[in-house]
Chain A
Amino acid sequence: MTLPAPEETSDEVLVARAQAGDYGAFEDLVRRHQRRAYAVAFGIVKNPAEAEEVVQETFLSAFEHLEAFRGESKFSTWIYRVASNHALMKLRKKKPEPHGDITDLEPSLSRAQTRSEGTSPFDALSLWARRPDDAADANEVQEALSSALDALADDDRALLLMRSIGEASHDVLAERFQTTVPAVKSRLHRVRLQLRALLDERMRGKPPP
Chain B
Amino acid sequence: MSDPTRPVDCQQLVSLLGDYVDNQLTAEQRAAVEAHMGQCAPCVAFLRQYRFAPQAVRDHLLKQVPVDLENRLLSFLRDRTKKA
The secondary structure that dominates the B interface is helix
**Once bound together, how far apart are the Cα atoms of A36 and B72, in whole Å?**
16
Contacts of B61 in A (CB 8 A): 39-40, 42-43, 149, 161, 165
| Residue from A38, A109, A185 with most neighbouring chain B CB atoms (10 Å) | A38
| Chain B residues proximal to chain A, CB less than 8 Å | 10, 14, 17-19, 22, 24, 40-43, 45-46, 48-50, 52-66, 69-70, 72-74, 76-77, 80-81, 83
Query: Which of A56-64, A68-76, A97-105 contacts the other chain?
Result: A56-64
Contacting pair A129 B49 (CB below 8 A): yes
A177 at the A/B interface (Cβ < 8 Å)? no
| Chain A residues proximal to chain B, CB less than 8 Å | 23, 27, 30-31, 34-36, 38-40, 42-43, 48, 52, 55-56, 59-60, 63, 109, 113, 120-123, 125, 129-133, 136, 141-142, 145-146, 148-149, 160-161, 163-165, 170, 185-186, 188-189, 192-193, 195-196, 199-200
**Once bound together, how far apart are the Cα atoms of A121 and B81, in whole Å?**
58
Contacting pair B60 A146 (CB below 8 A): yes
Contacts of B17 in A (CB 8 A): 189, 192-193
Contacts of B19 in A (CB 8 A): 185, 189
Nearest CB of chain A from residue B60's CB, rounded to whole Å:
4
Contacting pair A35 B69 (CB below 8 A): yes
Nearest CB of chain B from residue A158's CB, rounded to whole Å:
12
Contacts of B70 in A (CB 8 A): 30-31, 34-35
Q: Which residue of B has the minimal Cβ distance to A145?
A: B60
Contacting pair B52 A136 (CB below 8 A): yes
Q: Which residue of B has the minimal Cβ distance to A131?
A: B48
Known: A35-B62, A196-B50, A200-B49. 7 other contacts (CB 8 A): A34-B69, A56-B77, A122-B45, A148-B53, A189-B17, A189-B18, A196-B53
Contacting pair A192 B58 (CB below 8 A): no
**Once bound together, how far apart are the Cα atoms of A48 and B73, in whole Å?**
14
**Number of interchain pairs (Cβ within 8 Å):** 139
**Once bound together, how far apart are the Cα atoms of A43 and B41, in whole Å?**
32
The one of B18, B42, B58 in contact with A123, judged by C-beta atoms closer than 8 angstroms, is B42
Contacts of A129 in B (CB 8 A): 45, 48-49
